[in-house]
């Protein structure tokens, strides 16, 4: 019993380390690779190395590395939450795990209907990776969601799913959808189709990076203000930007925490609504009935 | 010197990597969070259902036992009543029989006694008759020794006694 308990706790610690170590590692990496000069600059992700690939070089940047480590963290969290699942006398973390699962399933069922009830893990992983990526700014790390490529990848996956479910109503039905309400509208309809993932990607990306930009601007402005107001203080005291203390943190609560979680939720919501809306329920039913009839004959 | 990307720079491979990332995370979350949790939830539901059915079965069995016992108790009551009534019936019959026998015996004893008494009475009557005859004979003999014919007297007395006997004994 005692030994079992110890083993259980050891595994717990391992999972917790799996959650925390990637973040610590990333912070270390950031500190080691940060340039010494700390001028105000707004730029994209830092490039770690380049791999020559056809069409375009593959650049491994902070965004990629960070999102991989966030994934490891999320998996560690999942493992920790589901460690020691029981049917009775459940641990507190199992309450949390069950709460998450139930909430996500309810969200999916409410927004997508019965047919899409298997979408729970997908929506959960979208919310998880998006929220945790955005929240990385709290550790001073580069949030992968402020790289357009990362968000575009998710949006394209959603677009593929939308198209897949549209095709469930038959290819002809899918193509016919572009000529509605009249044939001339076809180019606009195609544009509208493409606009969905583009708008999703840019909405998410723009929200996160605008937070970063505004934060940087505010910090720079506060530095200038501080130098102006408190510049008369003697010696090095005048050089310390006192006004930078505290104020950016308040902004960070909105731009990093609130906006990050909000965008994750919005992205998941749009994913659900777009996929569920793309699925032609009636056409699908008709086709299935036909197929069943054919199978009977 | 570490370079940075531009703020907006589209890279096809990065997009593909990100897409694959989401897919991989989806499978991992499904495997490590949703799978086990849903599994345990269905297991718990099954356990609860099982317990409920077991409880139902137990309640049914108890209900059945109760009914059986009640029936048995009622049967026992009836049986006890039966035994009591049959016992009292028996006792009654026996007592009646005993009383009857006793009566019969008493009657027979009475009859015997009566018969004996009758016999005695007859004997006594005969004895008395004889004695009376003898006594009266002797008396008359002594009174009329010399002049009266004993034979006549005897007849006379006999007829007298006969009349006497007739008056109080109808059997004769």
Give the separation between CA A67 and CA A60, rounded to whole angstroms.
11
Question: Cβ A68–B21 below 8 Å, yes or no?
Answer: yes
Give the separation between CA B27 and CA B29, rounded to whole angstroms.
6
Rounded to an integer, the average pLDDT of B1-14 is 75
Chain A neighbors of B23, CB-CB under 8 A: 157
**What are the b/e assignments for A187-207, b being 16+ CB within 10 Å?**
eeeeeebeebbeebbebbbbb
Place of tokens 């990607």: A201
Cα–Cα nearest to A243, from A254, A232, A228, A257: A228
Structure tokens at A83: 């460690």
pTM of the entire predicted model? 0.73
Which of A11, A72, A74, A101 would best serve as a mutation to test chain B binding (most B beta carbons within 10 A)? A101
Q: Which residue of A has its CA nearest to B36?
A: A82
Chain A neighbors of B32, CB-CB under 8 A: 75, 78-79, 82
Chain A neighbors of B39, CB-CB under 8 A: 85
B3 in any annotated domain? no
B7 in any annotated domain? no
Chain B neighbors of A43, CB-CB under 8 A: 4-7
Q: What is the mean pLDDT of chain B?
A: 85
Chain B neighbors of A55, CB-CB under 8 A: 12
The model's pLDDT over B112-150, given as tens digits with 9 standing for 90+, comes to 999 999 998 898 888 888 888 887 777 777 766 655 566
> Which of the residues in chain A have pLDDT under 70?
35-41, 235, 237-239
Question: Cβ A148–B9 below 8 Å, yes or no?
Answer: yes
B1 in any annotated domain? no
User: A210 vs A136, B135, B150, CA distance in Å?
Assistant: 15, 175, 186
Residue boundaries of the structural domains of chain A: 2-27+42-296
B111 in any annotated domain? yes
B6 in any annotated domain? no
CA of A182 vs chain B CAs: smallest distance (Å): 35
Question: Cβ B11–A58 below 8 Å, yes or no?
Answer: yes
Rounded to an integer, the average pLDDT of B54-75 is 94
Under DSSP, the state recorded for A231 is T
Is a pLDDT exceeding 50 seen at residue B172?
Answer: no
Place of tokens 């080691």: A32
B56 in any annotated domain? yes
Rounded to an integer, the average pLDDT of B66-77 is 92
Number of domains composing chain B:
1
CA of A122 vs chain B CAs: smallest distance (Å): 5
């Amino acid at each position: 019993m005692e030994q079992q308990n110890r083993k259980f706790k050891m595994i717990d610690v391992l999972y917790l380390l799996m959650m925390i170590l990637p973040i610590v590692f990333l912070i270390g990496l950031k500190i080691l690779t940060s340039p010494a000069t700390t001028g105000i600059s707004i730029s994209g992700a830092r490039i770690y190395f380049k791999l020559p690939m056809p069409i375009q070089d593959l650049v491994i940047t902070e965004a990629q590395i960070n999102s991989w480590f966030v994934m490891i963290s999320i998996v560690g969290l999942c493992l920790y939450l589901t460690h020691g699942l029981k049917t009775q006398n459940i641990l507190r973390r199992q309450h949390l795990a069950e709460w998450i699962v139930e909430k996500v399933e309810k969200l999916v069922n409410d927004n997508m209907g019965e047919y899409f009830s298997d979408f729970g893990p997908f929506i959960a992983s979208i919310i998880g990776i998006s929220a945790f990526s955005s929240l990385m700014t709290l550790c001073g790390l580069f949030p992968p969601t402020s790289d357009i490529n990362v968000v575009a990848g998710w949006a394209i996956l959603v677009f593929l799913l939308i198209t897949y479910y549209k095709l469930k109503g038959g290819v002809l039905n899918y193509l016919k959808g572009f000529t509605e309400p009249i044939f001339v509208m076809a180019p606009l309809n195609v544009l509208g189709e493409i606009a969905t993932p583009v708008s999703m990607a840019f909405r998410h990306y723009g929200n996160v990076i605008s937070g970063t930009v505004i934060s940087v601007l505010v910090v720079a402005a506060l530095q200038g203000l501080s130098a102006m107001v408190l510049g008369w203080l003697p010696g090095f005291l005048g050089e310390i930007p006192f006004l930078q203390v505290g104020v950016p943190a308040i902004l960070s609560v909105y731009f990093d925490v609130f906006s990050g979680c909000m965008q994750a939720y919005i992205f998941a919501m749009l994913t659900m609504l777009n996929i569920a809306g793309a699925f032609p329920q009636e056409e699908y039913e008709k086709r299935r009935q036909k197929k069943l009839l054919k199978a009977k004959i | 010197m570490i370079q940075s990307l531009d703020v907006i720079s589209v890279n096809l491979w990065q997009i593909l990597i990100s897409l694959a990332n989401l897919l991989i995370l989806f499978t991992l979350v499904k495997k490590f969070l949703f799978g086990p949790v849903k599994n345990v939830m269905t297991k718990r539901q099954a356990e609860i259902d099982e317990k409920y059915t077991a409880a139902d079965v137990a309640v049914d069995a108890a209900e059945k036992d109760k009914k059986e016992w009640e029936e048995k108790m009622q049967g026992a009551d009836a049986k006890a009543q039966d035994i009591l009534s049959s016992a009292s019936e028996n006792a009654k019959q026996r007592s009646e029989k005993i009383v009857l026998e006793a009566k019969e015996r008493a009657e027979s004893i009475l009859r015997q006694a009566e018969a004996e008494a009758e016999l005695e009475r007859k004997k006594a009557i005969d004895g008395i008759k004889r004695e009376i005859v003898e006594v009266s004979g002797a008396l008359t003999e002594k009174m009329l020794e010399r002049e009266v014919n004993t034979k006549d007297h005897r007849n006379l007395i006999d007829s007298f006694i006969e009349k006497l006997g007739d008056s109080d004994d109808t059997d004769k």
